[in-house]
Amino acid sequence: MMLTIPDLLRPDEIRQIREALDQAAWIDGRETAGHIARQAKDNRQLSQDDPLAAKLSDFLLARLGESPRFMAAALPYKVVPPRFNRYEGGGSYGDHVDSAVMGVPGSAHKIRTDISATLFLSGPDDYEGGELVVEDTYGSHRVKLPAGQLVLYPGTSLHHVAPVTRGARLAAFFWIQSMVRDDGRRSLLLELDNAIQAVSRDLPGSPTPARLSGVYNNLLRQWAET
């Protein structure tokens, strides 16, 4: 399932984050890549022990927790704290699948990457190229979202970032271990959740939403790993 979360950040928040990132100490992204990914990766990132990265990361985690659409779609169990990258001057990241398990620096946590996430921090007019291209069974999806919008896609997907040929592309990226590991089950639960909300709106006072909500919770009880 690929899904966009449209309104994670307000315009003033996006502006503040971008101003902070313009002053940031960017390092070569290859330093954090695995052996194979290293050959495909040409971008810059904030170091994971950069205090600015930690501050912005905490802010984004709080925002994610407040987003009903994110919570319903991802059913998060653990989230890798968001990291930040910057592509410019032809920089790109060739086809790869993200590592299956990520560590969290400074902790013993290991997080299985069921869902990959990219939060666009530059607007589509700020740069040329730079699409996130995700392959799935339905073909190839080119994603380039307005600043402040988040895309979720399966951690199993082959994907790449096209070369940025003008301007700079700033983004945050992270991974989620979901309570429901299987993408198909997660999609069903989201569809059911959306339907329950629609029925609640369309049939005020009806007992049906409560019954459907019972089904939702009993499915989640069967499938959730915590």
Which positions touch Ni ion (CB under 5 A)? Answer: 98
**Shortest gap between Cβ of 216 and Ni ion (angstroms)?**
31
Residue for token digits 């271990």?
A: 177
The least CB distance from residue 192 to Ni ion, in Å, is 30
State the alpha helices, DSSP H only, in 29-117: 37-40, 51-65, 68-74
What amino acid occupies position 153? Y
Cβ 172 vs Cβ 8: under 8 Å: no
Which residue is nearest to Ni ion, using beta carbons? 98
Of the pair 127, 174, the CB lying nearest Ni ion is at: 174
Query: Given the complex with Ni ion, which of 13 and 135 has the nearer CB atom?
Result: 135
Residue 38 beta carbon to Ni ion: minimum distance, rounded to whole angstroms:
13
Residues 26, 172: Cα–Cα separation, whole Å:
13
User: What is d(CA 94, CA 215) in angstroms, rounded to the nearest whole number?
Assistant: 42
Nearest distance from C-beta of residue 93 to Ni ion, angstroms: 7
| Separation of alpha carbons 74 and 63, rounded Å | 14
Query: By C-beta, is 155 or 209 nearer to Ni ion?
Result: 155
User: Measured from the CB atom, is 98 or 183 closer to Ni ion?
Assistant: 98
